Chains A and B, each alone.
Chain A
Amino acid sequence: MSELKLELKTLIIDALDLEDMTPEDIKNDEPLFVDGLGLDSIDALELGLAIKKQYAISIDANAENTKQHFATIDNLAAFIESQKQ
């Protein structure tokens, strides 16, 4: 699980061009959007695409709980784990 989280942090940095950041700068339980890391709605789309590509899982953009899945690294890792099974 912690390996997946590190992988997700690296994916976020690469896909969203966060040039000056390292995985250590992103906390597992910190909000990714607005407060915390400060990502915006275009980042959400870009990140959704990157995760779809990397893990071959489908994300329903209109589903109520999608927002929750993308809230933090912890949530995102849990979501990907659940989709893999």
Chain B
Amino acid sequence: MDLTFHLTNMTYWQKAHESDSLPQAAGDPIAVDKKGWPTLPWVPAMQRRRLSPFMKMALHCAYETSTAYNQPLATVFSSRHGDLTQTSSLLETLANNDPLSPTGFSLSVHNAVAGLFSILNASTTPSTTIAAGQDTLAMAIVDAIAKAQQQQAPILLVHADQAMPSRYADFEDERQISHALAFIIEPTLKANVRLTRIPSSTSQPTTVPFSVAFGQNISSAQQTVTQSQDWQWKYTP
């Protein structure tokens, strides 16, 4: 698989000092660091209070990348695990036979961020949400390119994943860290990224996800050929 596209307006956000404050340290399998997440001053306080760290990361990047555009953009949201911290908390509640939090439940679906972003922007543009294992971001790019080509309009792509609750540590096949990124795919401009699938034999539980390597690399804006997991890309800023 070989994809070429024009990428612009990359926003990359990553949690600082996460290794010092991982939930595991507290002994609570689903506890999360309350500090150090994006503050979203543009979201009304009554709506902001319900946002989880996962949602804050995703909305921050979505906003920073799209704010320069005057028209609402069709969006592709991408997350391998979704708001797993929130989901874990709900499952924990169910396991204890306690009633579920209506607020938590209402925001627990995989496309909750897509819904919130469209409400906050009063936007009725189409939106999809993708999960595809280690290839999640790559498959979201496929979807975004297809939409951009078909509509001949810029597409906003937003990816977010959070460090996994320690309860799921046994299932980690890559080193998940809390990060989010957003960028625009422009169908009418000359391609500046070539993305190629090259199956990697070096993937370890310590390897960071493709989305982390891709976001860090593109936001550093240097021309490079980089490989992460099963994907290699050449970026020509």
**Which A residues lie at the B interface, using CB under 8 A?**
16-20, 38, 42-43, 45-46, 49, 52-53
A17 to B50, CA, bound (A): 7
Closest A-chain residue to B46, C-beta based?
Answer: A38
Which listed residue (B45, B50, B99, B102) contacts A20, Cβ 8 A? B45
Closest B-chain residue to A52, C-beta based?
Answer: B99
| B121 located at the interface, meaning its Cβ lies under 8 Å from any Cβ of chain A in the complex | no
Within 5-43 of B, Cβ neighbours of A (below 8 Å) are at none
Query: B residues within 8 A CB of A18?
Result: 49
**Which B residues lie at the A interface, using CB under 8 A?**
45-46, 49-50, 99, 101-103, 106
Closest A-chain residue to B45, C-beta based?
Answer: A20
Shortest Cβ gap from B103 to chain A (Å): 5
A30 to B121, CA, bound (A): 30
Secondary structure call for the B interface:
helix
Q: Is the CB of B50 within 8 A of A49?
A: no
Q: Is the CB of B103 within 8 A of A46?
A: yes
Q: Is the CB of B99 within 8 A of A49?
A: yes
Known A46-B101, A49-B99, A49-B101; judge A19-B106 contact (CB<8 A).
Answer: no
Query: A residues within 8 A CB of B106?
Result: 42
Which listed residue (A17, A19, A38, A49) contacts B102, Cβ 8 A? A49
Which listed residue (A19, A38, A42, A52) contacts B103, Cβ 8 A? A42
Query: A residues within 8 A CB of B46?
Result: 38
A52 to B102, CA, bound (A): 14
Closest A-chain residue to B49, C-beta based?
Answer: A17
Shortest Cβ gap from A45 to chain B (Å): 4
Can you list 22 A-B contacts with CB-CB less than 8 angstroms, sorted by A residue number?
Answer: A16-B49, A16-B103, A17-B49, A17-B50, A18-B49, A19-B49, A20-B45, A38-B46, A42-B102, A42-B103, A42-B106, A43-B103, A45-B102, A45-B103, A46-B101, A46-B102, A46-B103, A49-B99, A49-B101, A49-B102, A52-B99, A53-B99
Shortest Cβ gap from A32 to chain B (Å): 13
Knowing that A42-B102, A53-B99 touch, tell me 11 more A-B residue pairs with CB under 8 angstroms.
Answer: A16-B49, A16-B103, A17-B49, A17-B50, A18-B49, A20-B45, A42-B103, A45-B102, A45-B103, A46-B103, A49-B102
A20 to B48, CA, bound (A): 11
Shortest Cβ gap from A1 to chain B (Å): 28
A38 to B44, CA, bound (A): 12
Closest B-chain residue to A16, C-beta based?
Answer: B49
A46 to B106, CA, bound (A): 11
A21 to B40, CA, bound (A): 18
Shortest Cβ gap from B97 to chain A (Å): 13
Shortest Cβ gap from B107 to chain A (Å): 9
A18 to B49, CA, bound (A): 7
